[in-house]
Amino acid sequence: MKAQKMTPATPKAIKRIIRNTQAHWVGDGFPVTTMFSYNTHGADVSPFLMLDYAGPAMFEPSDRPRGVEQHPHRGFETVTIVYEGEVEHSDNAGNSGKIGPGDVQWMTAGRGILHEEMHGRDFTARGGVLEMIQLWVNLPAKDKMTAPAYQELAKAQIPVISLPGEAGTLRVIAGDYNGTRGAARTFTPINVFDMRLQAGGTTSLSLPDDFTTMALVLRGEVRVNGLKTLQPRDLALFELAGEDILLEATKDTAILLLNGAPIDEPIAGYGPFVMNTQDEIRQAFDDYRAGRF
């Protein structure tokens, strides 16, 4: 990302605003709204594949953890960002862990992994509010059969930047912000920024030209480039051309900003598998049924 400028010289205009209010359950632990997916938005969202926003939802105390039991993935990465609550992960590669508010889990499914995602046991026992994001990130064809991997990024590991003029803060989960590198390792150029803007705060981001860019408002209200105002659960998809985005918060605002180099390759997906051809999807099912994950 380039040096920050307070007046956008080459604005990156909003292409459209995506609003989805239809929620569905993933397992019995995650009431989610799918904000975008490659099935409905195609190459416009590449290198990202899907974003599910779970909650905020209140769960009563229980003696049985809720969630999604063991299931497979191949050909992409899952990124889980927790805002409230706790999620425990385990997989057949021997990885396990628990993430809570501010933590991030970045899992590379690669050639194949079986994993489960459940509410944390402590959270299950006491109950409370769960709010989280799960983002799917595509892998280029040359990396789709890479070895599975797991990055657990604790809140303390993620760099936090104070924005100029006391406008707010920006956490660099992945990518680069004015020379500060993010905590996550990625296969292609990707910026994932978790932003907090104070009411009245103004900041300008200078992002790479020709990169896919999206901004999801989680709470608050923000005016973009002095033209359009985004409310909670509004997702702005920007034009590829242009570099600068001016953000003016009219309320205390939380934003997840995604920015990445498109992967110009065919996508073939079915359920938990995302590859490049239908033959590769059939092979994924064969390998899963044969226990080769």
Report phi then psi at 165, rounded to 5.
Answer: 70, 20
Contact 89, 132 (CB under 8 A): no
CA distances from 243 to 42, 213, 246, 259, 276 (A): 22, 10, 10, 11, 30
Asked whether residue 89 is marked as a ligand-binding residue, the answer is no
73 labeled part of a ligand binding site = yes
> To which H or E segment does residue 73 belong?
strand 67-73
Q: Which residues pair with 196 in a beta bridge?
A: 169, 254
Query: Which string of DSSP letters, residue by residue, matches 81-143?
Result: EEEES-EEEEETTS-EEEE-TT-EEEEE-TT-EEEEEEE-HHHHHH-EEEEEEEEEEE--GGG
Give the C-alpha separation, 258 to 265, whole Å: 20
- Choose among 225, 235, 228: nearest CA to 258: 235
Binding residues for Fe cation: 71, 73, 115, 117
Binding residues: 71, 73, 115, 117
